[in-house]
Structure formats: structure tokens, C-alpha cells
Amino acid sequence: MLDVLLSELDRHDSARFPCVYQKGMILFMENDPCTTLGVVLSGAVKMSHYRHDGSERVHAVIRAGAVFGDFLIFSSTPYYPGHLTALEESVILHVPRERIETMMAQSASFRHQYLRHVSEKALELNDRQKLLGTHTLEERLLFWLAGEQRRLNTTTIPHNGQETLAGILHVQRPSLSRTLNQLRRQGKITYDRHHIIILEPI
């Protein structure tokens, strides 16, 4: 959808004023209203919230080429369910809702791409529910790796560190580290600081 979106912005002579966020900067706070579609041009951001005990739960990591606010912007309750924080220096383009509405009305191509994007994201949310329904951490990690392998079409799966990955999987980091080591000893994966490499079919 990104190419079509940027093409439509250019066609309508919409001025682009991307914002640069340094690592750790908060783009939006939980319960802030969502009035724009966010486009990650470079870098990565995470959506997360903090539990009562102070632990962080990561809902999603949004990387370059992806968007956020796509579900919320047309919702009857368009409020962010968590904080949006830059994981590294990130360049974000914010497209107002009014501009999105105009492009959907004037461009069948953009309208179809947007609807397809939302449909595919709904399927991803369904997979997330399946992820949380796994019984063991090993099953959960392998399920996540298989999904990322299909999505990225590669056996080298990037991530933003074990702390962030533990949040995505809703587990504690020490438990994740033990499971990664166990799978490496079994010859199923190998890994470094920011990648997990799948060695056997999942």
C-alpha cells in the first residue's frame, strides 16, 4: 500500500513533512487521539503499554514500509491503546484523516489497496490470537518464527532485541533466553543480537 499512498500524495501535490524521532522518543501516549495515518519511512517504532506491576507489554513492532493508525483513524473510538515509541532513529510521515478520505474518494486504486491492507491486517490479528493460545513458550516462539518466515519470505528473522521480542511473545526475557538456547542446542535455530536464523523446517 505504501507505494500507492505516496504516489497519490504526489499526484495531489500534498506537501510532505516527515518527522524525525530519536531512539526512545514517544510519538503518542496511550489514549491520545489518532487523527493521522502514520507511515514509517525508516527506522522502527513499538506499540506498548505498561501493566500495574510496571512490566511492559509490547503489542507490535512497526518497521520501515509499514503504517500505523490504519484501524484507529476511522474508528468511533480512535484512541491509541498504548504508547508509540521509537526503537531507533525513525522518520515518520503523518497523513491527516481528511487527506486519506479524499484519496479514497478520488482513487479506486488507493481505495482497493487500503481495504486489502486492512483485511490482511485483520488476518494478522487472528494469527496473534493463535499465538497467545499456544501452550508452551517453545510452541509460541516457533509459531511466531513460522509466521515471520512466511511474511518476510526468509529464514533470517530480524527483531529489535530479546527484551522487545519477549514483550511481543508476552513472556519474561529470562524464559525467552532459555528457550532460544534450548532450540539452538537442538539445532533448530541459531541467533545473534538482532536476528534468529531458522535451520530446520518449522
DSSP string, the chain: -HHHHHHHHHHTT-----EEE-TT-EEE-TT-B--EEEEEEESEEEEEEE-TTS-EEEEEEEETT-EESTTGGGSSS-B-SSEEEESSSEEEEEEEHHHHHHHHHH-HHHHHHHHHHHHHHHHHHHHHHHHHT-SSHHHHHHHHHHHHHHHHTSSEEE-S-HHHHHHHHTS-HHHHHHHHHHHHHTTSEEE-SSEEEE-S--
| Predicted local distance difference test score (pLDDT) of residue 98 | 92
Please, what are the domains in the chain?
Answer: 2-120 (2.60.120.10), 133-198 (1.10.10.10)
Please report the sign of the dihedral spanned by the C-alpha atoms of residue 155, residue 158, residue 163, residue 165. negative
Q: What is the pTM of this model?
A: 0.68
Q: Are 68 and 80 in contact (CB under 8 A)?
A: no
pLDDT tens for each residue of 108-154: 999 999 999 999 888 887 888 888 899 999 999 999 999 999 989 99
| Predicted local distance difference test score (pLDDT) of residue 16 | 63
| Predicted local distance difference test score (pLDDT) of residue 15 | 55
| Predicted local distance difference test score (pLDDT) of residue 105 | 93
pLDDT by 10s per residue, the chain, length 202: 778 887 877 776 555 678 999 999 999 999 999 999 999 999 999 999 888 887 888 888 899 999 999 999 999 999 999 999 999 999 999 999 999 999 999 999 999 999 999 998 888 878 888 888 999 999 999 999 999 999 899 999 999 899 889 988 989 899 999 999 999 999 999 999 999 999 999 8
Please report the sign of the dihedral spanned by the C-alpha atoms of residue 119, residue 47, residue 23, residue 164. negative
The set of cell numbers assigned to 54 is 510496571
| Predicted local distance difference test score (pLDDT) of residue 128 | 82
Query: Which position has the grid cell 490479528?
Result: 125
| Predicted local distance difference test score (pLDDT) of residue 21 | 97
CA–CA distance, 13 with 15 (Å, rounded to integer): 6
| Predicted local distance difference test score (pLDDT) of residue 123 | 84
| Predicted local distance difference test score (pLDDT) of residue 58 | 85
